[in-house]
A and B are shown apart, each in its own frame.
Chain A
Amino acid sequence: METFEVFRRSGHKSPFEHCGAVIAGDPEMALLVAKECFLRRREGDHLWVTRRSDIHSFEDESLLEIAADKSYRFAHAYRDVVKKRERARERAGKAGAQ
């Protein structure tokens, strides 16, 4: 027996999302029981199962931490751009008039 992770799609335009896991002997059996465990109440229209052992991840989670200042990757770091641009236009206008 193996653990299978179950992914469910709530509508045909939605992405598959993880919704739980089942224990089963093989993928076909996992799908059969997952249907009754996770699609009992019209929660979606499609299911995937995949062996948990087929999912790859990071052994060292600390690699995923953001250590230094990465504020430049966020929109809030650019809030003053509009003002800066206005000032730049002003300066450019004055230079043209001279």
Chain B
Amino acid sequence: MSDSLVALVTALADDELVLGHRHSEWTGFAPQIEEDVAFSSIAQDEIGHAAALYGLVASITGDDPDRLGLGRDQNQYRHAVLCERPNRDWAYTLARHWLYDHADAVRLAALTDTADERLGALVNKMRREERYHLIHADTWMQRISQGPMDGRTRLMEAVTETVPEALDLFEPIEAEDDALKQGWLPAPSDVLRARFVDETSGALEDLALPAEVRSHLQATEFVASSSGDLIDEGPSESKSSDDKSSSGGRSGNHTSDFGRLWSDLTHTYRAHPGASW
């Protein structure tokens, strides 16, 4: 009954933890000292959200939030693969930050109507910080997309490359049908994905990035919105249209990039069981 709630909250928490960890790898290396502080702060926010969400899971299952964050095997994490990718350069980091935070905004907006009051309260708190993340990402995107050719080109390439994995943020969660039935998740993942596609392709148009940057999104828009329509007729049909992505991060399938991140992230926890600070 509450299993699907646990699955939903775990997926949210794992996204925030793993991406927050990637963001934190910029600490000391960001393009400017001011941005270093700001981006590190965003990383802390994301990890703080993960901690709060693990706390919610723990209160349901009686588990320990630290163990949930740091004591699981790699294939027990339910984040999207997008979150585990290495930072590469600032263009990729920014493209991912922008796509992720827009996706996050879409799903958090939907989750304000969740049937679980604790999750609803947490989501409202998170949204207050996520608003800043969104402004931060938008402001950077505007600056780089209107700036000199080199940065603009690198950003366009990064966005184009990142879009397919960003769409997998809306890979259905485990036991999604039950989460929908119970009202934990107020809208199906592919409806949320269609909203995300709609919003971000509009935003990319406003940024005056060339049409080919949006082509990935728009190619998927047709599929996503048509499968969104199918949802009304029956959830089983929408699932079959999602065969490709149903085997990704939300089912615990991760890349070797996560292996390296995981061993770094969990090193201290594994080396000193039961330690506190």
Contacts and interface: CB of A to CB of B under 8 A. Distances in A.
Contacts of A37: 34, 37-38
B34 A24 contact: yes
A28 B139 contact: yes
A37 B36 CA distance: 10
The secondary structure that dominates the B interface is helix
B211 interface: no
A88 B35 CA distance: 69
A33 B143 contact: no
A29 interface: yes
Interface string B106-135: 000000000000000000000000001001
A29 B32 CA distance: 12
Given A23-B34, A37-B34, A29 B41 contact: no
B143 A29 contact: yes
B35 A33 contact: yes
A36 B32 contact: no
Contacts of B34: 22-24, 33-34, 36-37
A68 interface: no
A11 interface: no
B32 A32 contact: no
B154 interface: no
Nearest to B33: A23
A23 B38 CA distance: 13
A32 B136 contact: yes
Interface string B145-184: 0000000000000000000000000000000000000000
Given A22-B34, A33-B34, A33-B35, A40 B41 contact: yes
* A23, A33, A34, A40 pick with most chain B CB within 10 angstroms: A33
Contacts of A36: 34, 37-38, 41
Interface string B90-115: 00000000000000000000000000
Nearest to A4: B34
Nearest to A30: B34
A35 interface: yes
B135 A33 contact: no
Nearest to A24: B34
A35 B139 contact: no
B135 A32 contact: yes
A61 B223 CA distance: 69
B143 A25 contact: yes
A7 to B, nearest CB: 16
Contacts of B132: 35
Interface string A1-36: 000000000000000000000111110110011111
B139 A29 contact: yes
Contacts of B33: 23
A28 B135 CA distance: 10
B170 to A, nearest CB: 28
Interface in B22-75: 32-35, 37-38, 41
Interface of A: 22-26, 28-29, 32-37, 40
18 contacts: A22-B34, A23-B32, A23-B33, A23-B34, A24-B34, A25-B143, A29-B143, A32-B135, A32-B136, A32-B139, A33-B32, A33-B34, A35-B132, A36-B34, A36-B38, A36-B41, A37-B34, A40-B37
